[in-house]
Amino acid sequence: MHDVSSSLMMQALRCSNVERPPIWIMRQAGRYMPEYRAIREKRSFLEMCHTPELAAEITCLPIKAFGFDAAILFSDILVIAEAMGVGLRFEEGKGPVIERPLSSAADVDALPQPHIADCLSYVAAAIKCVKPQLNVPLLGFCGAPFTVASYMIEGGSSRDLKKTKQWMLRDPDSFHRLLDKIAISTLEYLKMQIAAGVNAVQIFDSWANVLGHTQFREFSLAYLQRLLEGIKGTGVPAILFCRGSSVYAQQLADIAPAAISLDWQVDMTQLRSVVPSTVALQGNLDPDILYADHATIRREVMRLVHGMRKDRGYIFNLGHGIHPDTPVDAVKALVACIKEG
């Protein structure tokens, strides 16, 4: 087992990195990689998540191919919803489908509070399987309660989260009961991942961008804070990612995560003025830049890196997950820019 405590990633999460910024990218083990597609042709997405040896193999693919400075466990934020009994499948071209979406307070009250160590034991097994194969930190992750609740209500992806927002506004009490149940299971899930050996975790609140500031504080931030406080005693750092994180950055900084992962709609150097130097910043290249020629990629990457060159808590990432049709050569060029300067 490799000691990664002095790695670039862990130093940056402690805001003590004086070398080049570490690099990893969201969805780095994904459809843009031919090696991933070869496995996916033979297995369903959930089968890949549920099989520890497969999940471990997929987790390692981008580390071997590109030399990223951190690995993130191959899984999905909705395995927690599956564990809570709403049914989950993935449809080609459509994405996740919740088979029994929630539509009433009675549905919330009937929702089981599962024993996560049993229901999601395959995740812990995947972590234990992959750890000896890595010489870089391993990130675990989960969905934030608001985002998981949104999927459970909408039945899948939604552009406007209309059902979720209507429920939230018309019956906030039952909506909070739903968030509470998800938060209990999610905290148990994070603790299980940490006990299994992850070095850091990232919490994805992918749909928080639909919320106004007051709603964000009540229905998202309060539950993010609860998760952070719940794992504080473990000493494992947590990164927060929200769509719209540039808008909510100051509120996110107030709950003191190890790092905030930012979208590309903001100048990171300017945002540092409202985020204390004790909180690392991660991001925030527009994923579309990777469709450009290598000279343009280099120019945009170096502009970003140059602006953050004196920041001891900077982690290079994209402002969102990498697109499935991103050219592999573009990813190689990206990593070379960071490592070679």
Q: Which residues are annotated as catalytic?
A: 27, 31, 40, 76, 151
Give, to the nearest 10 degrees, the angle between helix 52-66 and helix 328-340.
60
Number of H helices, E strands in the chain: 17, 9
Rounded Cα gap, residues 202 and 216, in angstroms: 19
Rounded Cα gap, residues 35 and 202, in angstroms: 25
Place of tokens 């400075």: 69
From the list 293, 289, 286, the residue with the least C-alpha distance to 267 is 286
From the list 156, 157, 219, 233, the residue with the least C-alpha distance to 191 is 233
Return the C-alpha torsion angle 305, 289, 26, 241, nearest 10.
70
Write the CA distances from 16 to 2, 13, 20, 54, integer angstroms: 20, 8, 12, 35
Question: 3-state DSSP: the chain helix, strand, coil percent, rounded to 5?
Answer: 50, 15, 35
Vertex 249 angle, CA 277 and 76, to 5°? 105
